Amino acid sequence: MSAQAGSIPWLFRHELRLMWFSAGSSKSEKSQRRPGLAGLAVVGLAWLALHAIAFFVVWRTAGIDLRDPRVLVAVSALLYGSMTFMLSSALKSSVLVLFERGDLDLLLSSPLPSRSIFTVRLGTVAAGTAALYLFFLAPFAHAGALLGHVGWLAVYPVLLGTATIIACAAMLMTLGLVRLIGARRTRIVAQVIGALAGALIFILSQLFAQFSRSMETRAAAAFARAFAEDGALGAGSPVWLPGRALLGEPLPLLGLVALAAAVFVFTAARTHGFFVHGLQQAASSSRAARRPAGGPRFRFGRSLFTTMLLKEWRLILRDPQLISHVALQLIYLLPLFFIIFKRSEVQLPAMAAGLTLLCSSLTASLAWIILSAEDAPDLLRLSPAPPGTVRNAKLAAAVLPCLVLVLAPLAWLIVRAPLAGLGAAGAVIGAVCAAAVIVHWCGRPGLRSDYVARGKGDLLSSILGMFNSLSWGALAWCLASIAAGPTDRTVVGAAFAAMGTLATLGMSRLFRRPRP
């Protein structure tokens, strides 16, 4: 029986259909289309394979006592870890449904109540947040139920309830940012927060890995006291209630479902006016700025090179989606900083190689955005600007941000170990310059909206960029090792790595694409 037109179930079914159609089309496509039969078949086969894997895993671990506190801790840690990624996904979805879909003006001008529109949008964010985790964890619940653990079916209400709470928090955070800093800045900040939330687990694990042995001993003792029966994190602690719900205990499960329902109702009912105000902020943010007092002021003092440089950086800063993806790479630089400024012995080879690999990867990403994803290449070619100046400005715009980011750690390395630091600096400079040149020679034109899937449409440039990063990273490792004490192995390795960098550049030059 179909839902009544204009009702919440009818609108929610329409939103789910749009979300499903979006899975079968890329962002560069102007229209959304239904996923093809081949895609559906692949997804179905993958889910069946997951069921086979889950059945094998559950069957081999059937002897584990689910009442063991260690199982409770492991399950709770899995759920809490998933929450950070859920928050990242929910923030991005909130920005999408509020600002980037572009259909809210049409919906709000229709006879549909605005409260129903907001309720459905919130439910769509929650459903989309839970979908991926249900896809991967539901097979384990089915396998557990077949083997006698019916309580494992609690995966469905627990994941849906957790995703609902996270979606409400993300929507409230997004609307709060709109009130504080405006809709335009909210798109950027929310994307960056989403990237940070997604990488939080990695950062925390690396922070713990950088503890000294004495700190690790003290931390282990503190954890042992906390996890004791009468400790703050004992088996009876409220911290483990989500894990107990996931294992199928009735009272924690009912409590989580009730909390999710209450949070959803409260968010939908109490923040409805806030939602409409946020949309008004988003609509007004696209208006033209006021005319400056005293008339327009023209500034023509910059050179063409500087103007092109600032133009490229300004275009990137105006794209929150690109900022979030690029910022995710920058997050992985943080553990390297902790290694550098650690008071114990500096791990020079690993540090030099890590900085080189990350800077090369980041430069390749920026070069693809600036060179291959140029929005108006024909306009630049027809302009009276010298092509060499335009090309050099674009290459500099891709290289300079990475060099500025690693300036402080490289300076610290040079002060602590001059030879190793100079070797690392040379490897970083060579890697970033080579990465930009490879994209310039071999990069295929694309759209900025295809940034995440750029490797599929530009396979040659991606492969050459990977070999470039690995070669320069190996050279940085060998140079830092030689500075600490040369051996035959490190010298030979440095020679082979240097040959690899030259060979990669030679292949890039050989397969360079003709420029019109």
DSSP calls for 408-442:
HHHHHHHHHSHHHHHHHHHHHHHHHHHHHHHHHHH
What average pLDDT does range 282-308 have in this prediction? Answer: 62
CA 21 vs CA 44, 327, 365, 446: distances in Å: 16, 28, 28, 23
Q: Amino acid identity of 240?
A: W
Q: Do residues 501 and 471 make contact, with C-beta atoms less than 8 angstroms apart?
A: yes
* In-domain check, residue 293: no
Average pLDDT, rounded, for the chain: 78
* In-domain check, residue 28: no
pTM of the full structure = 0.65
pLDDT at 147 over 60: yes
What is the predicted pLDDT for the residue at 396?
A: 93
What is the predicted pLDDT for the residue at 453?
A: 64
Whether 144 and 208 map to the same domain: the answer is: yes
Within a 10 A sphere around the Cβ of 436, how many other Cβ atoms? 26
Which residues are CB-neighbours of 495 under 8 A, at least 6 positions away? none
Residue bearing the bigger pLDDT, 327 or 41: 41
* In-domain check, residue 99: yes
What is the predicted pLDDT for the residue at 316?
A: 80
Among the ranges given (7-16, 187-196, 467-476), the one the predictor scored with the smallest mean pLDDT: 187-196
What is the predicted pLDDT for the residue at 343?
A: 44
Q: Do residues 361 and 329 make contact, with C-beta atoms less than 8 angstroms apart?
A: yes
Report the distance separating Cα 277 and Cα 212, nearest Å.
Answer: 50
Q: Do residues 193 and 92 make contact, with C-beta atoms less than 8 angstroms apart?
A: no
Whether 330 and 275 map to the same domain: the answer is: no
For residue 11, give the nearest of 94, 117, 132, 134 by alpha carbon.
117
Structure tokens at 452: 């995440």
What is the predicted pLDDT for the residue at 29?
A: 43
Whether 264 and 363 map to the same domain: the answer is: no
Q: Do residues 468 and 435 make contact, with C-beta atoms less than 8 angstroms apart?
A: yes
Among the ranges given (29-33, 325-329, 349-353, 406-410), the one the predictor scored with the smallest mean pLDDT: 29-33
Report the distance separating Cα 350 and Cα 347, nearest Å.
Answer: 6
Give how far the C-alpha of residue 10 lies from the chain's centroid of Cα atoms, to the nearest Å.
33
Q: Do residues 119 and 125 make contact, with C-beta atoms less than 8 angstroms apart?
A: no
What is the share, in percent, of the chain residues with pLDDT greater than 90? Answer: 16
Report the distance separating Cα 119 and Cα 99, nearest Å.
Answer: 16
Among the ranges given (118-122, 136-140, 229-233, 405-409), the one the predictor scored with the smallest mean pLDDT: 229-233
For residue 104, give the nearest of 15, 13, 194 by alpha carbon.
15
Map tokens 């030679």 to a residue: 506
Whether 311 and 253 map to the same domain: the answer is: no
Q: Amino acid identity of 288?
A: A
What is the predicted pLDDT for the residue at 205?
A: 61
Structure tokens at 352: 């030099």
Number of structural domains (the chain) is 2
Which letter, b or e, does each residue of 27-39 get, where b requires 16 or more Cβ atoms within 10 Å of its Cβ? Answer: eeeeeeeeeeeee
What average pLDDT does range 349-366 have in this prediction? Answer: 86
What is the predicted pLDDT for the residue at 222?
A: 59
Give how far the C-alpha of residue 87 lies from the chain's centroid of Cα atoms, to the nearest Å.
11
Whether 261 and 355 map to the same domain: the answer is: no
Residue bearing the bigger pLDDT, 214 or 480: 480
- Judging by beta carbons within 10 Å of its beta carbon (0-12, 13-18, 19+), is residue 489 exposed, middle or buried? exposed
CA 96 vs CA 20, 164, 317, 355: distances in Å: 15, 17, 18, 33
What is the predicted pLDDT for the residue at 506?
A: 92
pLDDT at 313 over 70: yes
pLDDT at 212 over 60: no
pLDDT tens for residues 94-126?
A: 877 777 676 776 777 778 777 788 888 888 899
Split at pLDDT 50, 70, 90, the class of 27 is: very low
pLDDT tens for residues 58-74?
A: 887 766 766 667 777 77
Structure tokens at 52: 């086979």
SS3 375: coil
Whether 78 and 205 map to the same domain: the answer is: yes
Split at pLDDT 50, 70, 90, the class of 146 is: confident
Whether 244 and 380 map to the same domain: the answer is: no
Residue bearing the bigger pLDDT, 237 or 48: 48
What average pLDDT does range 221-236 have in this prediction? Answer: 60
Report the distance separating Cα 85 and Cα 321, nearest Å.
Answer: 17
* In-domain check, residue 372: yes
* In-domain check, residue 3: no
Whether 334 and 394 map to the same domain: the answer is: yes
What is the predicted pLDDT for the residue at 181?
A: 76
Among the ranges given (12-21, 141-150, 341-350), the one the predictor scored with the smallest mean pLDDT: 341-350
Structure tokens at 122: 């919130």
Residue bearing the bigger pLDDT, 132 or 185: 132
- Judging by beta carbons within 10 Å of its beta carbon (0-12, 13-18, 19+), is residue 494 exposed, middle or buried? buried
3-state helix, strand, coil in the chain (%, to 5): 75, 0, 25
Report the distance separating Cα 285 and Cα 273, nearest Å.
Answer: 18
Whether 205 and 324 map to the same domain: the answer is: no
* In-domain check, residue 211: yes
* In-domain check, residue 169: yes
Domain of residue 398, residue span:
305-510
Which residues are CB-neighbours of 127 under 8 A, at least 6 positions away? 16, 19, 163
* In-domain check, residue 300: no
Whether 267 and 315 map to the same domain: the answer is: no
pLDDT tens for residues 315-347?
A: 887 776 666 667 666 666 566 556 555 544 447
What average pLDDT does range 185-208 have in this prediction? Answer: 65
Map tokens 């890039």 to a residue: 508
Among the ranges given (151-160, 241-250, 253-262, 432-441), the one the predictor scored with the smallest mean pLDDT: 241-250
Among the ranges given (168-182, 270-284, 304-318), the one the predictor scored with the smallest mean pLDDT: 270-284
Whether 151 and 268 map to the same domain: the answer is: yes
Structure tokens at 40: 């559906």
pLDDT at 282 over 70: no
Whether 97 and 64 map to the same domain: the answer is: yes
Report the distance separating Cα 293 and Cα 466, nearest Å.
Answer: 51
